[in-house]
Chain A
Amino acid sequence: AQSVTQLGSHVSVSEGALVLLRCNYSSSVPPYLFWYVQYPNQGLQLLLKYTTGATLVKGINGFEAEFKKSETSFHLTKPSAHMSDAAEYFCAVSERGGSYIPTFGRGTSLIVHP
């Protein structure tokens, strides 16, 4: 069975600083990988996804993530944080060749200080 671990329920950065949100997965085969963002009182919005091909994936709002099979990781980064990036971020995985239902991590709240 697959699982997702997001290290750190809260990450705090200063505006302009690097954002790094961590996601590790446990799966028998490399899964499909997703990052979603949720703003207060909103639904989830897809930031980026990895299905196949290039392991460095670029998403919306300047975010990117790199799939590292050897580390079973899919960390989310952004070079320079904006105040508007403050939100909840969820990593999700779905099993390649198996259940198509994504498994969500518990989420990481990104706090951006002026």
Chain B
Amino acid sequence: DAMVIQNPRYQVTQFGKPVTLSCSQTLNHNVMYWYQQKSSQAPKLLFHYYDKDFNNEADTPDNFQSRRPNTSFCFLDIRSPGLGDAAMYLCATSRDRRGGSYNEQFFGPGTRLTVL
């Protein structure tokens, strides 16, 4: 089945130790998104790629970076995790950006990050 895969599902890191979360998709979608979701809150968009075009949200801290080496994979790098970065990180894809069904999002299961 076509899907969005996130690895690992659970990640524990130490304060200040860089961490990378990965996302892959078999949907061949053009757009990939990274969201941060804290407990009982809506997902907060960090950034997204339309193909190779990177789009950063204005309030995303510099501590968060992303890479998309090819259509299928996208990575979230947290350069120096702080206690406040502990959250669920969701990867999502959408077929395109023309609206309607084209921007229906497909989500991965998420990676829960713990910062000690």
A-side interface residues toward B, CB under 8 Å?
A: 9, 32, 34, 36, 41-46, 49, 51-52, 88, 90, 92, 94-97, 100-102, 104-107, 109
One of B14-22, B63-71, B78-86, B104-112 contacting the partner: B104-112
- Given A46-B104, A100-B97, output 16 extra A-B contacts at Cβ < 8 Å: A9-B40, A32-B100, A32-B103, A36-B105, A41-B88, A41-B110, A43-B6, A43-B108, A44-B107, A49-B101, A49-B104, A96-B100, A100-B96, A101-B45, A101-B103, A106-B42
- For B84-103 the 0/1 string (1 means CB < 8 A from A) is 00001010101011111111
Closest B residue to A50 by CB, please name it: B100
Contacts of B92 in A (CB 8 A): 43-44
B-side interface residues toward A, CB under 8 Å?
A: 4, 6, 31, 40-43, 45, 48, 88, 90, 92, 94, 96-110, 112
Cβ of A88 to closest chain B Cβ, rounded Å: 8
Contacts of A34 in B (CB 8 A): 104-105
Q: Please report the C-alpha to C-alpha distance between residue A51 and residue B104 in the assembled complex, in whole angstroms.
A: 10
> Is there contact, CB below 8 Å, between B43 and A44?
yes
10 closest Cβ pairs, A-B complex: A43-B107, A100-B97, A51-B100, A100-B103, A104-B42, A44-B107, A43-B109, A106-B42, A43-B110, A43-B108
Q: Is the interface of B mostly helix, strand, loop or mixed?
A: mixed
Cβ of A23 to closest chain B Cβ, rounded Å: 12
Contacts of B4 in A (CB 8 A): 43
- Asked whether A90 and B99 contact (CB < 8 A) given A44-B105, A46-B105, the answer is no
Contacts of A97 in B (CB 8 A): 99
Contacts of A101 in B (CB 8 A): 45, 48, 103
Closest A residue to B91 by CB, please name it: A43
Q: Please report the C-alpha to C-alpha distance between residue A39 and residue B26 in the assembled complex, in whole angstroms.
A: 23
